[in-house]
Structure 1
């Protein structure tokens, strides 16, 4: 066992088969975690509830924490983070697959370098995990990550592992719909935390209806709110903010087919 907690949110819409697959990829790590914390904050279907119960009953390090008063994904992640007991926390989603060596390699970085938060590239697939359709590549060094932060999220959230205490001291997660991760990383950067991404693809994520989810007026409003926060944190200059809005708002409002073409080009 290691000193790693896995923080895994489960939604009412989570696919039981995908959840089993995600959990198996955690349990089969070359460096297994000390605990797997499955968190919920909304009523879940009987099928999903049965799946969670099966995972908890058959794996001694797994447990389920329910937070009915937590607001949104950010709220349930913050509540779950506070319940994690190990010094390092790995994020996973219920439709992710972690490569067997993921935790081992990220733990080395956190223990042997100044990094507080480490992630990796992320492969996206629709039906077949062995046939990813694209890879979301991210910068690797802290300086490059800081350069991206004012206008583009530089971390793939489901790939991250971080120092629990350092992230909580920076404020942890909060309810910031559709931008929970970028919001967190921006505040961590402003607090002086160190970042790194491994130049490897350590997680595969199943993605459904990606283009629809990334478009629409609500997403455009979230982009504006995020741009404003980056200015308030003194991470983004006025030029950065204008670039952010000019590059990211229009694609959110485009028709689906056009938006898909843009996403294929920029992969984020």
Structure 2
């Protein structure tokens, strides 16, 4: 058993079957986690409440933490992070599937290299988890990740495992709607933490009309807010900011079908 806490947020809209599927992929890891922390901050449906209760009652390493005052995803993740007891944190989403060797592979990198945060590519499927429709690839070295950071999020959030204390010292999660992960990685980079992405897909994620959810004025405003944050952290140059605004803000305002085609080409 590894010194790993799994941080798994559960939303009111979570599908119980998907949650059970995600949980099975955690239970089947070649390195078992010491604890699995399911975190919520919303009123849940009876089906989700039952699913969470079943998992907690069935697996002694699991517990459910509810934080009704936590603001947004960033707030509930930070509250959950504070509740985790192990030195290494593995993020999971409630509708994703971790490959069996994921925790073993990432724990080895964290304990045997200077890396503080380790992610991977993300395989996306639509109906059959065994068939990937596309791959969300990310840069692998710290240098490449640093070069992406000023204008494009270089880490797939559901794939990461990180050093808990190092991330907490960098400020941890905060309420930064729609950009919670990129905001955290940017502040971690500014604090001197070391990144690495593995050149393989350690997580499979289901596609649920992502392009539609990631468009609109609110997302465009979030991109502008993120661009401002990157400038304030002295990560992005003026040229980087212009690149960010042109390549990321404008597509958020395009029609959904056009945005979907762009997403299929660039996979974010």
TM-score of the pair, normalised by structure 2: 0.99
Q: Following the alignment from structure 1 to structure 2, what is the Cα–Cα distance between the partners of residues 261 and 208? A: 15
RMSD: 0.5
Kindly state the Cα deviation for residue 105 of structure 1 after the two structures are TM-superposed: 0.3
Aligned ranges 1:99-118 → 2 under 5 Å: 99-118=99-118
2:37 equivalent to 1:37: yes
Unaligned runs of 5+ in 2: none
Kindly state the Cα deviation for residue 207 of structure 1 after the two structures are TM-superposed: 2.1
2:192 equivalent to 1:192: yes
Kindly state the Cα deviation for residue 132 of structure 1 after the two structures are TM-superposed: 1.5
- Structure 1 residue matching 2:29: 3-state secondary structure: coil
Aligned ranges 1:240-259 → 2 under 5 Å: 240-259=240-259
**1:90 corresponding residue in structure 2:** 90
**2:172 corresponding residue in structure 1:** 172
2:6 equivalent to 1:3: no
CA-to-aligned-CA distance 1:54-94 (integer Å, 9 cap, x gap): 00010110110000000000000000000000000000000
**2:55 corresponding residue in structure 1:** 55
Q: Following the alignment from structure 2 to structure 1, what is the Cα–Cα distance between the partners of residues 190 and 61? A: 34
**2:182 corresponding residue in structure 1:** 182
Q: Following the alignment from structure 1 to structure 2, what is the Cα–Cα distance between the partners of residues 28 and 264? A: 31
**1:23 corresponding residue in structure 2:** 23
Unaligned runs of 5+ in 1: none
Q: Following the alignment from structure 1 to structure 2, what is the Cα–Cα distance between the partners of residues 151 and 266? A: 14
Number of positions where the alignment pairs a residue of Structure 1 with one of Structure 2: 268
**1:80 corresponding residue in structure 2:** 80
**2:160 corresponding residue in structure 1:** 160
**2:143 corresponding residue in structure 1:** 143
Q: Following the alignment from structure 2 to structure 1, what is the Cα–Cα distance between the partners of residues 43 and 94? A: 16
TM-score of the pair, normalised by structure 1: 0.99
CA-to-aligned-CA distance 1:138-183 (integer Å, 9 cap, x gap): 0000000000000000000000000000000000000011100000
Kindly state the Cα deviation for residue 2 of structure 1 after the two structures are TM-superposed: 1.0
Kindly state the Cα deviation for residue 250 of structure 1 after the two structures are TM-superposed: 1.1
Kindly state the Cα deviation for residue 46 of structure 1 after the two structures are TM-superposed: 0.4
